[in-house]
Structure 1
Amino acid sequence: MQKQAIFQYIDEHRGEMMALWQELVNRESGSADKAGVDKVQDRIKNILEAEGALVRMVEYEQAGNMLIAEIGGDRAKAPVLFSGHVDTVFKTGTVEKRPFTVRDGKAYGPGVLDMKGGVVAFLYAVKALRAAGFSERPIKMLLAGDEETGHLASNAAEVFVEEARGCAAAFNCETGFVDDAIVVGRKGVAGFTMEVRGVAAHVGNDPENGRSAIVEIAHKLLEVEKLTDWQEGTSFNVGVIEGGTVPNATPDYAKIRIDVRFVDENAIPKFTRQIEAIAAKTYVPGTTTTLTAGASFKPMTTTEGVKRLFRLVKETYAENGFGAPYEKAVGGGADSAYTVIAGVPTVCAMGVKGGRNHSPEEYAIVESLFERAKLLAACVLKLNSL
């Protein structure tokens, strides 16, 4: 059977998979390190070209490049899509301090879970499918180089939508959960930066002429936090505040960074107007405020197609003794939103399982690398029943 051949291929290449995982984790590719991200993309390009893939790079000046690859593009059936990203949240130099290591069945290192393990899993699902003679439909792959920054300096979100159109199903190999949750919905994410300019003054000799940027931003911060509407599903968080230099001077500069999470894309104009109104109001005369929009993700909507694909994943789990997955909607954004926008049934969090991503304690369960590669390939075999 084809599935048995696929599983055997993965079992026989466990050492090779671990070696690639280690190699990718030990390659610096923080979102701000364009050169590092591009080198990782080039390495994956070489791997896929060796498998017969046609590979294109969308190049960006201020963001990591995006990889687009396809195998069997002339096949009659609609393609299956694997997607993800190769950038991490970690600064250059992290690898030297915390390289890839394995302890007690868990792998550690920057990006080991989010999401270089997921990249290795789908690469070997593709390799195994080819080795077993799979030729029913094209296999397409999209890898962003700037996901962690919300594609702030690229058009990768639009590329995802355009390239995904017409696919039969999409598997986003983002961070997997240890309890086998499969993500079928995600909130959207929007970021704003609010900066206040005031007037500096010596608080002992000239206090009446100072105009405190910190006091102004404090008023605005509290107003932003009041906007949260749990019933609507829109939440506001001021997660960063900066300002001032010394305690004996009126601060002439202050800044906050705002994170907004939302369920419905139609909420965007409303909360944007709300934040703009707060920025426009002056609490401390003589201060001025600037508002800048930052990184954003559209919501991943739980469509009927998404639900059908989840059922296929659940059946595949049961058939192969992988456990009992369940549907989960989460607050974190991801590029799975854009494949759903393209009309493609999509499931997310199909990468290696683990926890503590974006932290020094980020880890992935080693055995899940092989299980998820098998799961992804087995799901592709079942797509005709979708």
Structure 2
Amino acid sequence: MILEQKKKAFEFIDFHKNEMLALWEELVNTESGARDKESVDNLAVKLKNIIENIGMNTKIVEYKNAGNSIVAEFGTDRRKKGIVFSGHMDTVFKKDTAKNNPFRIENGKAYGPGVLDMKGGIVIALYAIKALNSVGYNERPIKLIISGDEETGHSNNPAGAELFINEAKGFTAAFNFETGFTDNGIIVGRKGVAQYTLEVEGVSAHAGNAPEKGRSAIEEIAHKVLDIQNLTNWEEGINFNAGTIQGGTVSNAIPDYAKVEIDVRYTKVSKKAEITKSLEEIAAKTYVEGTKTKLTVKNFMYPMETTDGVMNLFELAKNTSIEIGFGEVYPKTTGGGSDASNTVIAGVPTICAVGVKGEWNHTSREYAEVESLFERTKFVIACVMNLKDDLV
């Protein structure tokens, strides 16, 4: 029965290839820059209409300081534990980028802003659901969560991350349709991202006439930058980076202000408080008497931890890929964040980067392999049909 359903679902994808490409083009050419709330919200309305036409109960989750998100579901009365499909509709690109770099296909590759990250993934999720519906799949509920502010790390909107945790709880598995990799890697772990600003206030003075009256903010922050870099612990998977530094006005004045922006990558959710505490301790130190230091938390994105459940789901995905003739996938970890971390925090085994395969996301060279749009849709369909309830 399952084999026959898979075959028919795959035939559905083959029959609707042009339709999938047309939707891909429409989504890429629809602006949705993460810092342009209006454009993200407009795309949310468009997607809501598309998803409702599939037959899903769909709602837009509205936010004041970030792009809106979408939650859709159907089959809530089905007897087995449900599946989460997740991803995001916002991109990193500025408004009007699509006008100068529209969707196009050249030599088997699709180009355009967000074509890889992750408009193609949205198409895969929607058509996997449509194909499953077409063959009468009715074993598990399916929930679709699409964020409108993933590219900013939900920095202005903590509720955007909490949405995934709250909506995913109690489900049996989750698939995140982020950027796929050309080497057939499937993401089973991601580092978390924590970002801070450290500011020092000093006392300005003329460097020639009265240097002793000054209190150098740059001197103070220089000591602290070294302290910050020394917090890196490769064995524990934590690395600190003082990425940008600003300070002073002219060379013949003692600087009364300096600022450093800090990026931290980490692998364990439990390390969040420890990271902040260590930076607070550095901020509380004084090397140059008369200076004051302020630490501000800008953004926190949790890591995707590689749990037993994650690896059990990966093994199912690997066996499925071999079964349907798409070759062996391998478990991959990366430093970039995604909302897959939040579904894992919710206790749901999750694999990430099951979207279209390609390279150079976040750049004008971003591309995706066209054939991977159809291959990955079939892959997800087969994984859903092969799912068991004993992943955790």
Helix, strand or coil at the partner of 1:271: helix
User: What letter matches 1:109 in structure 2?
Assistant: G
**Corresponding residue number in structure 2 for 1:21:** 24
Q: Which moved more, 1:247-256 or 1:54-63?
A: 247-256
Rounded Cα–Cα distance in structure 2 between residues aligned with 1:98 and 1:205: 56
Helix, strand or coil at the partner of 2:69: strand
Give the 3 Å change call, closer, same or farther, for CA 359–239 of structure 1 in structure 2. Answer: farther
**Corresponding residue number in structure 2 for 1:160:** 164
User: What letter matches 2:25 in structure 1?
Assistant: Q
1:117 is displaced (CA, Å) by: 1.2
**Corresponding residue number in structure 1 for 2:370:** 366
Helix, strand or coil at the partner of 1:32: coil
Helix, strand or coil at the partner of 2:6: helix
CA RMSD of aligned residues (A): 1.8
| Paired residues for 1:149-298 under 5 Å | 149-154=152-157, 155-204=159-208, 207-298=211-302
Give the 3 Å change call, closer, same or farther, for CA 316–57 of structure 1 in structure 2. Answer: same
1:283 is displaced (CA, Å) by: 2.5
| Paired residues for 1:25-174 under 5 Å | 25-154=28-157, 155-174=159-178
**Corresponding residue number in structure 1 for 2:307:** 303
Helix, strand or coil at the partner of 2:235: coil
User: What letter matches 1:288 in structure 2?
Assistant: K
Q: What are the ranges of 5 or more consecutive residues in structure 2 without an aligned counterpart?
A: none
Rounded Cα–Cα distance in structure 2 between residues aligned with 1:202 and 1:223: 28
User: What letter matches 1:193 in structure 2?
Assistant: T
1:357 is displaced (CA, Å) by: 1.7
1:204 is displaced (CA, Å) by: 5.0
Contact 2:81 2:389 in 1 (8 A): no
Q: Which moved more, 1:144-153 or 1:90-99?
A: 90-99
Q: Which moved more, 1:88-97 or 1:273-282?
A: 88-97
Rounded Cα–Cα distance in structure 1 between residues aligned with 2:297 and 2:60: 27
Q: What are the ranges of 5 or more consecutive residues in structure 1 without an aligned counterpart?
A: none
Q: Which moved more, 1:342-351 or 1:261-270?
A: 261-270
Q: Deviations over 1:227-267 (max 9, x none)?
A: 10111111111122233344444433322111111122222
Q: Deviations over 1:63-110 (max 9, x none)?
A: 111211002222222111100111122222322332223222222222
1:177 is displaced (CA, Å) by: 0.8
Rounded Cα–Cα distance in structure 1 between residues aligned with 2:26 and 2:8: 26
Rounded Cα–Cα distance in structure 2 between residues aligned with 1:244 and 1:180: 48
Rounded Cα–Cα distance in structure 2 between residues aligned with 1:217 and 1:59: 40
1:47 is displaced (CA, Å) by: 0.7
Q: Which moved more, 1:168-177 or 1:298-307?
A: 298-307
1:59 is displaced (CA, Å) by: 0.9
**Corresponding residue number in structure 2 for 1:339:** 343
Give the 3 Å change call, closer, same or farther, for CA 18–246 of structure 1 in structure 2. Answer: farther
Give the 3 Å change call, closer, same or farther, for CA 385–157 of structure 1 in structure 2. Answer: closer
2:352 is aligned with 1:348: yes
User: What letter matches 1:66 in structure 2?
Assistant: S
Q: Which moved more, 1:192-201 or 1:324-333?
A: 192-201
2:312 is aligned with 1:312: no
Rounded Cα–Cα distance in structure 2 between residues aligned with 1:252 and 1:124: 58
Rounded Cα–Cα distance in structure 2 between residues aligned with 1:11 and 1:206: 78
Helix, strand or coil at the partner of 1:291: strand
Contact 2:243 2:261 in 1 (8 A): yes
Q: Which moved more, 1:43-52 or 1:327-336?
A: 327-336
Structure 2-normalised TM-score?
Answer: 0.93
2:9 is aligned with 1:6: yes
